[in-house]
Amino acid sequence: MLQKETIRLIQESVPLLREYGHKITANFYKRMFNEHPELLNIFNHANQRKGHQQQALANAVYAAAANITQLEQILPTVKHIAHKHRSIGVLPEHYPIVGQNLLLAMRDVLQDKLTEPMLNAWQETYGVIADLFIQMEEELYQQAEQQPGGWRGFRDLVVTKKVRESEHITSFYLEPKDGQPLATFLPGQYISVKVEIPGDPYTHIRQYSLSDDPNASHYRITVKQEENGKVSTYLHQEVEEGSVLSVSAPAGVFTLEQTDSPVILLSAGVGLTPLLSMLKALAQSPSSQRVIHIHATHNSQTHALREEVLRIANSHAHIENYFCYSQPTDTDRLNRLYDKEGLIDAEWLKTVLPSTGHFYLCGPSAFMRDCYQALLSLGIAPAAIHHEIFGPAGAWTPPAAAPMGATQ
């Protein structure tokens, strides 16, 4: 438990974090990687370069300070981060390194605005939060290892099949190199893939949602080749059938709620991957709850796994499916390969959605923002809207939420 004076001092620092949070975290990462370059084998270089990781940490630190008297309010974010940490191999010995460099960064940026008592308060608070993460992550390591077919750390999986799904998206089917069973997973979860790229001094770890049936004897990841994406390009161009990938056990908290209410799956682009796994699970469920699947993409050329989704929807009466093309081709128009032209908006959603249910969003940040706001405008409660952003936990927050970030 934190001392009352510690809590008061942390609350006093909230305006400073709101104003200087991003500068603090930028200073922190630069300092830490200079002192401990080996940590570049764990952290995502692209997120560092784009500033996403810095903003995510700024949001998390601000949220901890703003909710210091009720830290249970940030438990969902803590769980999200803990799952990510477990999947990439964060260990207890990393936390003192992070804490030391974070406090030094706060001192560097805030200078005389940060009093010695305030710095001591943050040291005490960091210790409490770090212990919470260490305990939660060890529980997750044990769960991953002790489940049937589970393991701790990384395991070699063989690419048994590589399938091009669209002009920029490819699926990789993975099976254990040792021939032993694979752990099952919850629909919506992801795995971390660690690769060594020739000529690069560091390993690279990326998360990819599992896009197939949780009960299959293999894993499937469906990867978009991103512009200037080092790992996605390596997977697309260099990894072939028979290649071996180093993979951590499934992780993630973006999973289906246990409910009989309608389920609405809203995705765009490669954001379809976790929702397709959910769709497959819902199709196999004995429940006849209403399921609505909506996917947005440019056109049929960018539309991955289209036929797979149609087979599921057409063979289950309780599943409705809608495709939205923002830039349909002439062939798309001629053959009516989509249900809505243009972007998804509240006016159209009102015609196809129920007034209640659980809503799952996954896609680019602009898509997430627009859909979230559209659902709120239709009277959907924020607690019924679940989302997954492909990036650091906390890098995107629902627009209706209280500000959790620092200025950029």
Q: Is residue 87 part of a domain?
A: yes
Q: Quick one: tokens of 340? A: 């809505």
- What torsion do the CA atoms of 393, 398, 403, 408 make, to the nearest 10 degrees? 60
How much is the pLDDT for 398?
67
Question: Was 85 annotated as part of a binding site?
Answer: yes
pLDDT digits (tens, 9 = 90+) for 219-257: 999 999 998 899 999 999 999 999 999 999 999 999 999
Instruction: List pLDDT tens digits, range 147-168.
Output: 999 999 999 999 999 999 999 9
pLDDT of 372 higher than 60: yes
For the chain, the domain total comes to 3
Q: Is residue 253 part of a domain?
A: no
405 pLDDT exceeds 60?
Answer: no
Tell me which long-range contacts 30-39 makes (C-beta under 8 A, separation of at least 24): 31/101, 31/104, 31/105, 31/108, 32/97, 32/98, 32/101, 35/97, 35/101, 36/97, 39/94, 39/97
Report whether pLDDT(390) > 80: no
Are both 104 and 178 inside the same structural domain? no
Domain that holds residue 219: 154-248
| Alpha carbon distance 129, 57 (integer Å) | 13
273 is in an annotated binding site: yes
Q: Is 209 annotated as a binding residue?
A: yes
In a domain, 255, yes or no: no
**Strand 319-325 with 340-341, pairing:** parallel
Out of 302-311, 361-370, 391-400, pick the least confident: 391-400
Residue 305: inside a domain, yes or no? yes
Q: β-strands 190-196, 169-176: how paired?
A: unpaired
Task: List, for residues 296-319, the tens digit of each pLDDT value.
Answer: 999 999 999 999 999 999 999 999
List, for residues 94-141, the tens digit of each pLDDT value. Answer: 999 999 999 999 999 999 999 999 999 999 999 999 999 999 999 999
Residue 208 labelled as part of a binding site: yes
Specify whether 46 is located in the same domain as 83: yes
- Does 219 show up as a binding residue in the annotation? no
pTM above threshold 0.85: yes
Residues 141 and 9 in one domain: yes
pLDDT attached to residue 1 = 75
- 81 pLDDT exceeds 80? yes
Q: Reduce the DSSP state of residue 319 to 3 states and report it.
A: strand
Per-residue confidence at 399, pLDDT binned at 50, 70, 90? Answer: low
Tell me whether residue 206 is annotated as binding: yes
Instruction: Tell me, yes or no, whether 110 and 186 share the same domain.
Output: no
**Residue 379: inside a domain, yes or no?**
yes
Q: Are 228 and 277 part of one and the same domain?
A: no
Question: Catalytic residue positions?
Answer: 95, 137
Band the pLDDT of 45: cuts 50, 70, 90: confident
Q: Which residue has the tokens 């196809």?
A: 352
Q: What is the 3-state secondary structure (H, E, C) of 366-384?
A: HHHHHHHHHHHHCCCCHHH
pLDDT for the residue numbered 49: 78
Domain contains 406: no
Checking if the pLDDT of 60 tops 90, the result is no
The first and second tokens of residue 166, run together, are 């669209």
Question: Do 242 and 331 share a domain, yes or no?
Answer: no
Q: How many CB atoms lie within 10 A of CB 135?
A: 12
283 shares a domain with 244: no
Backbone angles phi, psi at 100, to 5 degrees: -60, -45
For the domain that residue 219 is a member of, what is the CATH number? 2.40.30.10
Going by pLDDT thresholds of 50, 70 and 90, the confidence category of residue 393 is low
Asked if 28 and 109 sit in the same domain, the reply is: yes
Regarding whether 142 and 165 lie in a shared domain, the answer is no
Please return the burial class of 227, using the count of CB atoms within 10 Å of its CB with bins 0-12, 13-18 and 19+.
exposed
Q: What is the CATH classification number for the domain harbouring 76? A: 1.10.490.10
